[in-house]
């Protein structure tokens, strides 16, 4: 396959594609889909609005031709989409794709981990914000204890998938879990990534005061563990990584709020209903589903995606102010994927 390299207005190449396969979720994490808003009457997308697996495969192929090397499947909860391993298999067969990963809350992994691995998935990021049943149940809004996620982690490991753990840290909610989570992951040989709480969407009531920064977490950890910096594995890697000295276990930080990394952001996002977003915080998606369903050719689709990327100027986290937090129209995380 001949790959083109397309660049945006800030000279950033297109390298990663995050695909949200579904906007629904079996959790109601308070920092993502607060239960008060995403209640029983909330209108999720009907099936006809979602991109089919064939449509996702077609779009992914075009993105790969335009430079994408990595695809991450996300949601909502991606394992709630029926037969996800079928999609993994289709994507895995596309020439030119180097890496395919999945972000999940983990509870359905005991059912799907082996099938996903057999379909070609290499690794999963599993979200876990606390090791305490009661607190975790409060955070996920569904009173689900830690057990089902731990079973998911075990199942993923057993199936041969690489596992990283994502922990969103919110002040006053789960900061007491920063050290216990580090101890747990170190003991299990898992890479933990602390994620700064972000002002995604407009429903989570985000305030700057709720953020615990990378520096604060790093300082806390350093009092108990000797950490040494690790070089990024590739250009644009989001997590800043450290290693527990004398081990091969890493710990990472996603410092989107305190140390933004827009200048090397190579990520595009495809929402569950087929809109391309060029930034997690950009409320304006570019339709490609209806264009495709109206009969666009591959060349026309390629042109549209090229045009979208070429016009990209996003650098929201560099520009974040109280004004942007309050007034900018932003897309919900569950819809676009993390």
Residues in touch with ligand SAM (CB under 6 A): 25, 31-32, 74-75, 77, 103-105, 127, 166, 168, 195, 197-198, 200, 204, 333-334, 337-338
Please report how close the Cβ of residue 4 comes to ligand SAM at its closest, in angstroms: 29
**Cα–Cα dist 79/271, whole Å:** 16
* CB neighbour burial string for 119-137, b if at least 16 within 10 angstroms, e if fewer: bebbbbbbbbbbbbeebbe
Stretches 49-57, 71-79, 87-95, 147-155: which one binds ligand SF4 (CB under 6 A)?
71-79
Scan for tokens 């180097």, then name that residue: 98
Asked whether the beta carbons of 230 and 243 are under 8 A apart, the reply is yes
Interface characters, 113-132, with ligand SF4 (x: CB under 6 A): --------------x-----
Please report how close the Cβ of residue 296 comes to ligand SF4 at its closest, in angstroms: 26
Q: What angle do CA 198, 277, 58 make, to 5 degrees?
A: 130
Please report how close the Cβ of residue 294 comes to ligand SF4 at its closest, in angstroms: 29
**Cα–Cα dist 79/210, whole Å:** 30
How do strand 286-287 and strand 275-277 relate by DSSP bridges? antiparallel
Please report how close the Cβ of residue 338 comes to ligand SAM at its closest, in angstroms: 3
Q: Which of 17, 21, 22, 25 binds ligand SF4 (CB under 6 A)?
A: 25
Does the footprint of ligand SF4 cover residue 27 (CB under 6 A)? Answer: yes
Q: Which of 281, 304, 309, 331 binds ligand SF4 (CB under 6 A)?
A: 281
Please report how close the Cβ of residue 324 comes to ligand SF4 at its closest, in angstroms: 10
Lookup: tokens for 200: 């995604």
How many of the other CB atoms lie within 10 Å of CB of 17? 25
- The entry of ligand SF4, ligand SAM, none that residue 315 binds, CB within 5 to 8 Å by partner kind: ligand SF4
In whole angstroms, what separates CA 166 from the centre of its chain? 9
**Cα–Cα dist 172/332, whole Å:** 23
State the residues that interact with ligand SF4 by CB under 6 A: 25, 27-29, 32-33, 75-77, 105, 127, 256, 261-262, 265, 267, 279-281, 314-317, 334
């Amino acid at each position: 396959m001949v790959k083109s390299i397309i660049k945006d207005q800030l000279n950033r190449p297109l390298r990663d594609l995050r695909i949200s396969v579904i906007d629904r979720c079996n959790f109601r994490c308070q920092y993502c889909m607060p239960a008060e808003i995403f209640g029983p009457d909330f209108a999720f997308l009907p099936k006809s609005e979602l991109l089919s697996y064939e449509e996702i495969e077609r779009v992914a192929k075009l993105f790969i031709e335009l430079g994408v090397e990595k695809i991450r499947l996300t949601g909502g909860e991606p394992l709630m989409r029926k037969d996800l391993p079928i999609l993994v298999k289709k994507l895995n067969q596309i020439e030119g794709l180097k890496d395919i990963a999945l972000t999940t809350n983990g509870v359905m992994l005991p059912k799907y981990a082996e099938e996903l691995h057999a379909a070609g998935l290499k690794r999963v990021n599993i979200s876990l914000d606390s090791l305490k049943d009661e607190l975790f149940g409060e955070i996920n809004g569904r009173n689900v204890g830690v057990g089902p996620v731990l079973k998911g982690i075990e199942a993923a490991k057993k199936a041969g998938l690489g596992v990283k753990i994502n922990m969103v840290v919110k002040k006053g909610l789960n900061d007491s879990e920063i050290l216990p989570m580090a101890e747990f992951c170190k003991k299990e040989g898992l890479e933990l990534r602390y994620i700064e709480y972000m002002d995604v969407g407009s429903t989570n009531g985000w305030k700057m005061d709720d953020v615990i920064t990378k520096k604060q977490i790093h300082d806390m950890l350093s009092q108990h563990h000797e950490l040494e910096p690790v070089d990024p594995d590739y250009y644009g890697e989001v997590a800043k990584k450290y290693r527990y000295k004398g081990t091969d276990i890493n710990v990472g930080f996603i410092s989107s709020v305190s140390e933004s990394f827009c200048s090397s952001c190579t990520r595009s996002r495809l929402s569950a209903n087929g809109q391309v977003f060029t930034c997690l915080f950009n409320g304006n998606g570019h339709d490609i589903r209806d264009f495709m369903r109206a009969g666009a050719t591959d060349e026309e689709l390629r042109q549209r995606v090229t045009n979208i990327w070429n016009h990209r100027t996003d650098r929201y986290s560099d520009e974040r102010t109280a004004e942007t937090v309050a007034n900018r129209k932003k897309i919900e995380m569950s819809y676009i994927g993390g």
